[in-house]
Amino acid sequence: MIVTVQQHIMFEQRRRHPEARGRFSWLLSGLTLAAKMIEAKIRRAGINDALGSAGETNVQGETQQKLDVYANQALLHCLGVRDSVAALVSEENEEPLVFDPAPETGEYIIVFDPLDGSSNIDVNVNVGTIFSILRRPPGPVTNAILQPGHQQIAAGYILYGPSTVLVYTTGDGVFGFTLDPAIGAFVLSHNHIQLPHQGNLYSVNEAYADTFPPAYSQHFATLRSKGYSSRYIGSLVADFHRTLLKGGIFFYPPTHAYPGGKLRLLYEANPLAFIAEQAGGRATNTNSRILDIPPTDIHQRTPLIIGSLSDVTAFSC
Ligand code: P6P
C-alpha cells in the first residue's frame, strides 16, 4: 500500500490534532507543489537554459544562480496563495514578505532556503530546499518571526539527487518520502527515521582547518585515530541527509571568513536541528543547543555541529 505525503500529513493531523481543519495540510501541499516544480526544472537544467548565474547577487552578497531565482519564485507563489500564511522569509529576500491576514486565518510563518548549495548545480551535485514552519502568535506579524527553533511546529527539506526525497517532522518523528515520477507523488519510503546513536563518518571542509579554533582539528585527529572516515559534499542538505541516515557528525565551525559560522540559524540550522533531535540526534553551536538560540536577525549565521548523539556530545571546544 502506498502512502503519499499528503495522506501522511492528514493521518498525522487527524491523529494528533483532531480539531485541525486541514489548513496545515493545505499549507504543506503548497510546499510539495513547489518542490515538484523545482525538481522538474533541475532535472532538465542542462537543456532548458536554467544553468548558470542569473547575473545578480542576493542579500547575502552571493551570486544568484538562475535556479535560485526560479526556486524562490516557485515557493513564494505556491505558499503566498495559501490564506493560512502570515509571512514568508526567504534566504533570497532581504526582508520578510508579510501578508498580514486576519490573525484567525494567517496562522503560520514559513522560513526557507529555496535552493541551498546552488553553486553545485552546474556540476550536477545534489542541492536542496530547507523549510521551517512557525506559528504566528497574536499581535503584529513582524514581531513574531524571530522565534527560537524549539518553537517550530514543523521542519523539513527536499533533497534533489539521484532521487528526490522529502524529509519532514511535525514533532512526532521523522519521515521520508521519495518522489515517484510515474505518479507525480511523494511516497513514504523512510518511516520513523532514527539517526544512529554513533557513526563512523565526520564531515567538514578541512581546507579551513588552519582557521578553525584548535579544538576542532585536535578532535578530527582523534576521530581519524578511531577509524572514522571523512565525507564532505559541500551541499548542506546532502551532507545532513547522509548523516541522518548513516550517523556521524557534520561541522561548520567558525572561520576567518565567517567568525560567527556560515550557515543560517532560521532556515538552515534550526530546521535541521529539529529533524536531528526528533530522530534521536543532537545539534549545537558548541555553546548552546541550536534550538535554544534566541534569534536577533532573520539572516543571522551560526556555527553548526550536528549528528549522532554520541558523536556530538563527545565534542566540546
Ligand atoms: P564551503 C553551500 O554554499 C552552503 O551554503 C551549504 O550548502 C554548504 O554546507 C556550505 O555552504 C559549504 O560551504 O565553505 O565548505 O564551500
**What is the per-residue DSSP string for 81-137?**
T-TTEEEEEETT-SS-EE----TTT--EEEEEEEEETGGGGGGT--EEEEEEEEE--
Residues 140 and 45 in one domain: yes
Name all residues whose Cβ lies below 6 A of ligand 1: 116-117, 119, 205, 234-236, 239, 262
Residues 299 and 168 in one domain: no
How long a stretch of residues is the chain?
317
Residue where a domain terminates, one of 145, 165, 190: 190
Closest CA to 75 of 35, 107, 103, 41: 35
Do the domain assignments include residue 195? no
Residue where a domain terminates, one of 190, 221, 242: 190
Q: Which residue is it, cell 552578497?
A: 61
Residues 22 and 141 in one domain: yes
Closest ligand 1 atom to residue 128 Cα is 7
Do the domain assignments include residue 33? yes
pLDDT of residue 82: 79
Residue where a domain terminates, one of 164, 190, 216: 190
Residues 114 and 176 in one domain: yes
Kindly report the pTM of this predicted structure.
0.95
SS3 205: coil
Do the domain assignments include residue 41? yes
- CA of 268 from ligand 1 middle (Å) equals 11
Beta bridge partners of 129: 158
Look at the chain and report how many structural domains it folds into.
2
pLDDT of residue 63: 66
Beta bridge partners of 190: 176
Alpha-helix runs per DSSP H in the chain = 5-16, 23-43, 66-80, 214-225, 236-246, 270-278, 309-313
Q: What is the CATH number of the domain that holds 49?
A: 3.30.540.10
- CA of 175 from ligand 1 middle (Å) equals 25
Question: Ligand 1, atom 3: nearest CA belongs to which residue?
Answer: 117
How many whole angstroms separate alpha carbon 209 and alpha carbon 66?
32
- CA of 277 from ligand 1 middle (Å) equals 22
CA distances from residue 130 to 116, 221, 264 in whole angstroms, order as listed: 7, 31, 11
Do the domain assignments include residue 196? no
Residues 223 and 303 in one domain: yes
Specify the amino acid at residue 220.
Answer: F
Residues 57 and 78 in one domain: yes
Question: Ligand 1, atom 16: nearest CA belongs to which residue?
Answer: 234
Closest ligand 1 atom to residue 235 Cα is 7
Residues 124 and 157 in one domain: yes
Residues 159 and 243 in one domain: no
| Torsion, Cα of 99, 100, 102, 103 (10° steps) | 110
Residues 50 and 180 in one domain: yes
Burial of 313 (0-12, 13-18, 19+ CB in 10 A): exposed
Pocket test for ligand 1, best of 212, 235, 264 (most atoms within 8 A of CB): 235
- pLDDT by position in tens, the chain (length 317): 899 999 998 888 888 777 767 778 888 889 999 999 999 999 888 787 677 677 776 766 666 778 999 999 999 999 988 788 999 999 999 999 998 667 677 889 999 999 999 888 889 999 999 999 999 988 888 888 999 999 999 999 999 999 999 999 999 999 999 999 999 999 999 999 999 999 999 999 999 999 999 999 999 999 999 999 999 999 999 999 999 999 999 999 999 999 999 999 999 999 999 999 999 999 999 999 999 999 999 999 999 999 999 999 999 88
Residues 169 and 242 in one domain: no
Residues 242 and 304 in one domain: yes
Q: What is the CATH number of the domain that holds 297?
A: 3.40.190.80
Residues 26 and 168 in one domain: yes
Boundaries of domain holding 290: 201-314
Closest ligand 1 atom to residue 263 Cα is 5
Closest ligand 1 atom to residue 258 Cα is 14
pLDDT of residue 129: 98
pLDDT of residue 103: 67
Do the domain assignments include residue 95? yes
